[in-house]
Amino acid sequence: MLAAPAIAVPVLPRIYELNREALARWCEDHGVPGYRADQIRKWIFGKRVDSFAEMHDLPANFRALLAESFSLFPATVTEHRVASDRTEKLLLQLHDGELVECVLMREPDRRTVCISTQVGCAMGCVFCASGLRGLKRNLTTGEILEQVLRLDRLLPRDEAITNLVVMGIGEPLANLRSLLPALESLNEKGGLGLGARRITISTVGLPEKIRELAQIGKAYNLAVSLHAPDEATRSRLVPVNDKIGIDAVLAAADDFFAITGRRVTYEYVLLSGVNDAPVQARQLAGLLQSRVAHVNLIPMNHVDELTFVEPTAPRTQEFVRILTEAGVPATVRKRKGADIDAACGQLRLHQLEPAASAPV
């Protein structure tokens, strides 16, 4: 049977798919001085314009050439939710119909954005909404940056993004090829001026990729999703652990610390009756006591298809107490945007067809 002909949607590349140097080269190739690249970047990253026409200090014919050659914000915002705590979430539809989510979180002294790196996820963590339908594809550098730039435009003129966490849909270390240029572009001249120290990359724990990230010489923060102190429980929750193992994850995180000097955060989603027992807290403390580490306990965000629930507050506090008394700093993550499905993966999941047989 012949496949239905694909509908040819002309897609112009996002202009910020090019980094500063590549954009300067493009300008020169088109008969315009390279410094125009910095002007363009200033309009996009600094002045938050939504069209090439607004870039007033560029010659009109050059603006027209840019508009014929590139896009700025080609994704469609299919949902924009605002929570009672002013967390905002965008569901973006890409040219091929795929959906991604990104979130803006507000705290008195911080404006943090959370972005996605893949459509779906291949890691299959059993409590996570993002991987329930598997991995569709990697996002491009431009698709990653569009999330940041769109969230930035939700802020008033006198506010700026202060922190960026790569904790949305997908496994960031499985798409470093798109992610790293996006993060670098944000830090280059004319970018958002977000230092690497304000950027946190969260990983399921892929040892070789953790080492690769450590080697690039940037001070990004690393968060490792540990979620259990023993192999059996971790493999049950994070299936890729079966082939990797906790020791290999910790050894890679140790190397990350040795190379970058950045303290590693260990994420641990507390699931009632699964990984929240005092004995597990003691075991976790045993693993991390000798390391320069911090534990971020994440309350389980409800996922309709799943039956995991968060422990009671006293049980959570007991877990924190055991870690702290053992000398392992631990904090419980504040829940943000609970009334808008702000935790990543959930909005997209609601838009997808229900699975033939939903996992429990």
Applying CB under 6 A, the residues found at the interface with ligand SAH are: 123, 125, 127-128, 167, 171, 202-204, 225, 267, 269, 298, 300-301, 303, 343
Q: What letter represents residue 131's amino acid?
A: G
- 127: which strand partners? none
Q: 246-260 and 207-215 are packed helices; what angle lies between their axes, rounded to 10 degrees?
A: 0
Q: Is 43 left (phi over 0), alpha (psi -120 to 50) or beta?
A: alpha
Minimum CB separation from ligand SAH for residue 148, in Å?
16
Q: Is the CB of 11 or the CB of 355 nearer to ligand SAH? A: 355
Q: Which of 114, 121, 128, 344 is catalytic?
A: 344
310: annotated active-site residue: no
Q: Is the CB of 42 or the CB of 291 nearer to ligand SAH? A: 291
Q: 278-288 and 313-325 are packed helices; what angle lies between their axes, rounded to 10 degrees?
A: 30
d(CA 328, CA 323): 5
Cβ-based neighbour number of residue 104 at 10 Å: 26
Minimum CB separation from ligand SAH for residue 257, in Å?
17
Q: Is the CB of 71 or the CB of 130 nearer to ligand SAH? A: 130
Per this entry, what is the length of the chain? 360
Nearest to 206 by CA among 162, 240, 234, 167: 240
> Can you give the C-alpha Rg of the chain in angstroms?
21
Q: Is the CB of 177 or the CB of 189 nearer to ligand SAH? A: 177
Q: 207-215 and 176-187 are packed helices; what angle lies between their axes, rounded to 10 degrees?
A: 30
Minimum CB separation from ligand SAH for residue 103, in Å?
11
Nearest to 169 by CA among 353, 356, 354, 352: 352
Q: Is the CB of 44 or the CB of 288 nearer to ligand SAH? A: 288
Give the three-state DSSP class for 160: coil
| Bridge pairing between strands 118-120 and 88-93 | unpaired
Minimum CB separation from ligand SAH for residue 239, in Å?
12
Minimum CB separation from ligand SAH for residue 301, in Å?
4
Minimum CB separation from ligand SAH for residue 162, in Å?
19
φ, ψ at 172 (rounded to 5°): -55, -35
Minimum CB separation from ligand SAH for residue 298, in Å?
4
In Å, how far are 143, 160, 179, 225 from 94, measured between CA atoms? 8, 25, 17, 28
Q: Is the CB of 118 or the CB of 185 nearer to ligand SAH? A: 118
Q: Is the CB of 130 or the CB of 140 nearer to ligand SAH? A: 130
101: annotated active-site residue: yes
Q: Which two tokens stand for residue 110?
A: 């911080």
Q: Which two tokens stand for residue 229?
A: 């102190």
Q: Is 227 left (phi over 0), alpha (psi -120 to 50) or beta?
A: left
Q: Which of 101, 143, 146, 267 is catalytic?
A: 101
Just list the catalytic residues. Answer: 101, 344
